[in-house]
Each structure stands twice: as C-alpha cells, then as structure tokens.
Amino acid sequence: MVLGIETSCDETGVALVGRHGVVAEALYSQVAEHAAYGGVVPELAARDHVAKLLPLVKNVLADAENATGTPPNIGAIAYTAGPGLVGALLVGAGFARSLAYSWQRPAIAVHHLEAHVLAPLMADATSDSSDLGESNIEPPFLVLLVSGGHTELIEVVEFGVYRQLGATRDDAVGEAFDKTAKLLGLGYPGGPAVEQAAKTGRAGTVVLPRPMLHSGNLDFSFSGLKTAVRQHLGERGTSDLDDQARANIAYAFQQAVVDTLVSKCQRALDQTGHNLLLVVGGVAANQCLREHMTQQVGSKGVDVVFPPMRWCTDNGAMVAWAGWWRWQAQQAQSDLGFSVRARWPLSELEAMTLIQEDETRLVVA
C-alpha cells in the first residue's frame, strides 16, 4: 500500500491506498482556524499541519488494521510536493520524507493537480457497491479542474502527459466563490456558503456578466464577476441587504459561473472531438455545476464524470492514489533529498505507461 500525505493548503489529509483503492483515510480541515481571517493564513496552516499529521497517521494505520485484520504493509510514502503554500508543503514533505527514511521505503513527490485529475479513477476498497472508481476512463480525454487555486481545461493525452488548453487569466473559480461570499457576508469557505444561499435565490432578479464567453478561446476570467457583484452592492455594501436579496445575488453569481464553465467545456469538446470529460477539484462539489454539466454536456453524447463528493476538495486519498500510480510506473525516489514547489506546471510531468496488469502489480513499459 501507499501512504499519502496532503498538506498543500488548509486540509491535512492522510490515507492508505492499495491496488483496489482506498483502505483508510483521515482528514482534518482547518477552516475554523482561518474563518476569522476570511481566508487561509499560510503561517497558521503550516503550524497546524505540524500538530495534526502524526495523530492522523496513527488513526489511519489503526483503521487499516481494523479493516483488513493485519497491520498495513506500506511500500511507499507519497506526499504533495506542489503546487501550494510553500510552508504548508514543507511540513508534509519533511514528515513524509522522514517516515520514508525510518521505514526504509521510497518517497513519491506527488503533483497536487495530477492527484485531483486521477481522483475519479479511485475506488473505496472497503465497500462493495458505492464509490467504485471509473475504470473505463482511458485517455485521451478532457479535464476541467476547478479549485481554490486553479481553473484549467486540460487534455490528458496519456496518463502523465497533460496539455493545458485554457486557464484563468486572473482569479480561480473557487477563489471567486470565496471572494463573493466575503462581499455578501456569507462566511468562509465561500463555495459551500454561496451554494447554500443560492438555493433560495430567484432567477432573473440580478443580472451578472459571463466573462470571456465569446472570447473565442478556452481561457477564463472571474475577477470581473466579483467586481460586478461589488458594483451591484454599491457603496452601502451589505448594510441593508436582506436574506432574499443576498440569495438572489448568490444565485446569479453561481449561474454565471456555471454557464461559463459549461460553455467553455462544450467548446473544448467540440474542438478536440473527445467524448469524455472529468470535472475535478473543490468546485466540482457544487451541485448546480454537477447537474448543469451533466445535463447540457452529457446530452450531447459526452460522458461527464465527477469524483465522489468527499474526493472533490483536498484529501489524502487522492495523493496516496496518485502516488500509487507513480510508484507502479517506477517513478518513486530513493534518495534523501526533497523539494517543494509553489508553482509547478502539469505539463512538466513524465508519462506513466502501464501496459499490463498481473495479480501483484501494474507492469510498466
């Protein structure tokens, strides 16, 4: 099995993954610590990862033993090496690298976005029916990656070979949700708060732009949308905003985001001719996006796949899973050094060619 450690932002995630999927997982979300500041405070995030990692690892090892009846046999330790907050990444990387050294196992530097991309292929090894990974996902296909830090349209040429077709020129979608929630006084994190408020919003009461919808390319821009919300609120801000007015703005904002994402995905599918779309990252937890993308893009004969809800936002399982893939592709590291990267384009990764499966491992070309 591979032990995975995620500390790129404000979630401490730990999980054990084997060839049949996730055996045990634990997650600690720091949202309460950062809520007072309205966003993630990097220094606090790093400190909190230090406090939470060891207890979470202990829990995961104990849960795995309970689930399987034997102490877990760990072959490698995977950690998120980037992109993310450098201080937070260093905590996970140093911790994972030390475990690898003391257990005499290889360490695997995982790309956080590749972990998001591979999440829909992940299964829950302890359950028979639910959360079965999508085994019919074969490249080439398209991925819409929508999180707090990234908004990208990616072509998966083969596993490990990623081509960026479009990206945001300013704010990421999750960031736009968070900033809009702050403007509306809806708390943090903004995505779930805006989604909740939008449920009682009335259609057609507030009109917001769909940025770059007709730009002719596959790029996005979301900072203008946030500015439009600010302008709509005017100088008085939220001072005389009642719940209904707040819900109407949340509804209009969410609808503008979803319309834009659906339409850019449709254009990317038309241009590439692919008939499979994966939607991943924290914003993929948004029900309105899940429904509209499935209905509108899915009605045109394209398979639209989302990870289960708990594997949309950051978690240790997807890191262990991506680490498992890289380990099977013999791309683990055995030296002692490690580095983390705040920025790290997906296009720099190496291909992983898995040609044949036998009982014990995937064999690499």
Q: Please tell me the distance from the alpha carbon of residue 207 to that of residue 228, in angstroms, as a whole number.
A: 9
DSSP three-state, residue 150: coil
Pairing, β 107-111 against β 76-82 = parallel
Among 79, 177, 321, 327, binds ligand KG4 (CB under 6 A): 177
Partner from ligand KG4, Zn ion, none binding residue 285, C-beta < 5-8 Å depending on class: ligand KG4
Longest CA span, the chain: 65
Pairing, β 303-305 against β 362-364 = unpaired
Q: How many residues bind ligand KG4 (CB under 6 A)?
A: 20
Among 183, 225, 314, 315, binds Zn ion (CB under 5 A): 314
Q: Does position 192 bind ligand KG4 by CB under 6 A? A: yes
Contacting ligand KG4 within 37-56 (CB under 6 A)? none
Nearest approach, Cβ of residue 8 and ligand KG4 (Å): 7
Q: Does position 9 bind ligand KG4 by CB under 6 A? A: yes
Q: Does position 331 bind ligand KG4 by CB under 6 A? A: no
- CA quadruple 235, 238, 240, 242: dihedral sign: positive
Q: Look at residues 208, 192, 213 and name the one whose alpha carbon lies nearest to residue 265.
A: 213
Kindly indicate which of the ranges 13-21, 133-141, 147-155, 221-229 contains the residues binding Zn ion, using the contact rule CB under 5 A. 147-155
Partner from ligand KG4, Zn ion, none binding residue 152, C-beta < 5-8 Å depending on class: none
Kindly indicate which of the ranges 29-37, 213-221, 239-247, 278-286 contains the residues binding ligand KG4, using the contact rule CB under 6 A. 278-286
Q: Does position 195 bind ligand KG4 by CB under 6 A? A: yes
Q: Does position 225 bind ligand KG4 by CB under 6 A? A: no
Q: Please tell me the distance from the alpha carbon of residue 151 to that of residue 170, in angstroms, as a whole number.
A: 9
Q: Does position 190 bind ligand KG4 by CB under 6 A? A: yes
Q: Does position 191 bind ligand KG4 by CB under 6 A? A: yes
Q: Rank residues 348 and 358 by Cβ distance to Zn ion and give the closer one.
A: 348
Pairing, β 276-280 against β 303-305 = parallel
Partner from ligand KG4, Zn ion, none binding residue 18, C-beta < 5-8 Å depending on class: none
Q: Does position 260 bind ligand KG4 by CB under 6 A? A: no
Nearest approach, Cβ of residue 180 and ligand KG4 (Å): 10
End-to-end Cα separation, the chain, in angstroms: 21
Distant-in-sequence, close-in-space partners of 205: CB < 8 Å, separation ≥ 6 = 248, 251, 252
Q: Does position 18 bind ligand KG4 by CB under 6 A? A: no
Q: Does position 281 bind ligand KG4 by CB under 6 A? A: yes
Among 4, 189, 307, 323, binds ligand KG4 (CB under 6 A): 189
Measured between alpha carbons, how far is residue 122 from residues 89, 306, 321 in Å? 23, 11, 7
Nearest approach, Cβ of residue 116 and Zn ion (Å): 6
Among 30, 147, 254, 315, binds Zn ion (CB under 5 A): 147
CB-based contact 31:181 (threshold 8 Å): no
Kindly indicate which of the ranges 54-62, 217-225, 283-291, 340-348 contains the residues binding ligand KG4, using the contact rule CB under 6 A. 283-291
Please give the backbone phi and psi of residue 200, each rounded to the nearest 5 degrees, phi first.
Answer: -105, 10
Residue 220 has which token pair? Answer: 């996005």
Distant-in-sequence, close-in-space partners of 335: CB < 8 Å, separation ≥ 6 = none
Distant-in-sequence, close-in-space partners of 325: CB < 8 Å, separation ≥ 6 = 118, 159, 352, 354
Contacting ligand KG4 within 146-175 (CB under 6 A)? 147-149, 174-175
What H or E segment, with its residue span, contains residue 108? strand 107-111
Q: Rank residues 155 and 314 by Cβ distance to ligand KG4 and give the closer one.
A: 314
Look up tokens 């203008």; give the residue. 224
Q: Look at residues 219, 209, 291 and name the one whose alpha carbon lies nearest to residue 252.
A: 209
Q: Given the rule CB under 6 A, which residues bind ligand KG4?
A: 9, 147-149, 174-175, 177-178, 189-192, 195, 281-283, 285-286, 313-314
Q: Given the rule CB under 5 A, which residues bind Zn ion?
A: 147, 314
